Amino acid sequence: MPHRRLFRILVLAVSAAVLVVSVRFGFADAWLDQYAIPANAQLEEQPAAEDAAAMQSSESGADIPIAPKPVVLSNRVTEYHISVKLEDDGTLTGEQTVTWKNPGRKPVSDIYLHLYPNAFSPGSTFLKESGGQLREDKMKPGGYGSMTLTSLTTEEGETLLPRFRYVQPDDGNASDKTLATFRLPEAVKPGGETTLRMKFTVQLPQVFARMGQAGDFVMAGQWFPKIAAYETAGTRGRDAEGWDTHQYHGNSEFYSDFGIYSVKINVPEQNIVAATGAMTQQVVNKDGRKIYQFYADDVHDFGWSTSPSYTYVENSFSSAGVPGLRIKLYLDPLHKDLADRYMHAAKSALAKLGQWYGDYPYSTLSIVVPPADANGAGGMEYPTLVTAAAAKNDSPGYELERTLVHEIAHQYWYGIVASNEFEEAWLDEGFTSYTEDKLMSAIYGIGSNSTIEASYMTNPQPLKLDSWGYDSSDSYAENVYLRGKLVLQAIEKQVGEKTMSKIMRYYFQRYRFKHPSSTDFQKAVEAVTKGKWSDFFQAYVYNGQMADFAVQSIQSSPAPGGGYESMVVLRRNGGSPQPVTVLFQFADGSAVRKTWNGQQSQVQMKLTHAQPLLFAAIDPSNSVVLDNLRYNNYLKTEVQEKTRTRFNIGLSKLIDGLLGTLAW
């Protein structure tokens, strides 16, 4: 037989074997979708034609599938195949097959699952800590939610429910059912994998805290049984590998491993669905229902929303750092005429993020605008899907753009870099708030005032702190969002905007898809600046300090040889050493500026001048971003005793005269 013919037969045989094996493990659909030519390939080859039809406010545009790209960006620890149905009574019924790959070097015998909808059940840790309130949004009376795992088996069909138990490692609250564990029949060897099958039901709460139902609107966030993150040795400084196991708390958000998601969503036929990832098949209409098929890879979560009321708008977009994607906008009817504002904000933000930090690696970005009665679903991020502020009026101010660019910035820090939001939330929220300010300034010319914002810091606490470890929800927000942002601005003030841009880009590029820590960010700062930042991080990240530079005292007296001699004592009461400017103002109108290196906790400066010193002001240009006690930055010269006595007598006589006049 000719060698060429033999080679062709061997290739066909190997291809058939691969396909058979993929079917056995349930991966065939994803495998075929990944390499299939998309139904809309002709459209993608003609961008002008696509742009002409981009502003179609119809559902048809949402039904065009996109083929996923076969590029592996993350370690893909998990693979989910989920089928979920929104029932007429508002509950979700679902089943999933999930494969977990052991990324460590030790056998793993126990699996941990997050069952987040149980946070909305009476007695949960989330409700106790939050008091049923989150971001000024209150849980409606009786609007509870829950999740029930109705089936849990191995791939071979062996039931594991008898081994299933809820655990509460953070607070021991026996009523909390947001985290569970079970023992596997056989340990998963390093590099090995296990496949599990589950069935579950979810009672959706009334929309609150990122999830639930409001009328015919549904936000499904944290809606499926999710395998916890497994951290290998060295991840975020871990000495030993193991599960990262935490309950759902009042302040905390989420943390998971990267993976693949293939999800079928079954909804009433009038509904439109927005979801993480891209559609890989045409929508199927059957028996008064509609079935959507979505696929996403190299993501660590999957969220979706549905409503029959959405006004749908789609645009294609590409720029430097954004190779090409579809922006999908799901508008509440109240905002149907604001599509241009949303699209402009989204495109501008993506263009800047791609330019500043690096590529946006996904093919879609979906934006959901919730209705007014679903305010709790607004302002949240999921991989490739964000929710804007709820539509409360038809003419919103810049809060529309600010909320949207904030959530899109999350795609980089929460979505791609993927920090641990349980234990180091500032690496997401602080970085996103910093980026939000940059975007608002670059796109709309709206700046922030760090001096005023620093004054809001009334209870500084460490940034590397478990989210539920803060004194209150206000303290959590102050530190994680605001002080975290100010720490980044403080670094920028010291190194300059150009170097700070290099730091942020270096950090993103080095740690994308890697779950970095605060220590990793410090390494990035030191790598770019070629300097040590231990004191800075110790003070502001690990110890929760604020800066406090103060003028403690001034004494001025005539000098023996003429003129005046002034002694000024400066103190650094808090924060790390850094150079600061000191302004000295004299009676003749002249001024002198000196730089104090800030290394000592206290320093005394001696000045000789022809005229008395009137006052001293430390950091007059407000360059020390983290100084929140500026009332002590300024001090007038202390008046000599004789002069003070004469002044007091004169003032007393003046007061006596005024009182006498009033008595008359």
Q: What is the C-alpha to C-alpha distance for residues 3 and 269, in angstroms, rounded to an integer?
A: 55
DSSP string for 168-225 = -TTT--TT--SEEEEEEEEEEPTT-EEEEEEEEEEEPPBSBTTBEEETTEEEESS-S-
Residues 653, 625: contact at Cβ < 8 Å? no
* Annotated active-site residue in 295, 382, 470, 481: 481
429 carries a ligand binding annotation: yes
Cα separation, 414 vs 407, in Å, equals: 10
Distance CA 305, CA 203 (A): 15
- Report the alpha-carbon angle 550-551-557, nearest 5: 175
Question: Which residue among the candidates 79, 314, 401, 407 is catalytic per the annotation?
Answer: 407
Of 73, 33, 77, the closest CA to residue 226 belongs to 77
Class of residue 583 by CB neighbours under 10 A (exposed 0-12, middle 13-18, buried 19+): middle
Q: Is 410 assigned a ligand-binding role in the annotation?
A: yes
Structure tokens at 480: 């994680």
CA distance 467 to 475: 10
Lookup: tokens for 308:
């029959």
Give the integer Cα–Cα distance in Å for 577 and 398: 38
**Residue 337, CA distances (Å) to 55, 83, 237, 354 in order:** 12, 34, 49, 28
C-alpha closest to that of 365 among 429, 322, 308? 322
The gap from C-alpha 30 to its chain's centroid, in whole angstroms, comes to: 29
Q: Residue 539's CB: how many other CB atoms inside 10 A?
A: 19
357 is an active site residue: no
Contact 256, 421 (CB under 8 A): no
Cα–Cα distance for residue pair 334/445, rounded to 1 Å: 27
Q: Which tokens go with 449? A: 């005032």
> Does the annotation place 406 within a ligand binding site?
yes
Dist CA 568 CA 612 (whole Å): 13
558: which residues sit within 8 A by CB, 6+ positions away?
A: 564, 565
Active site (annotated) includes residue 155: no
Catalytic residues: 407, 481
Binding residues for Zn(2+): 406, 410, 429
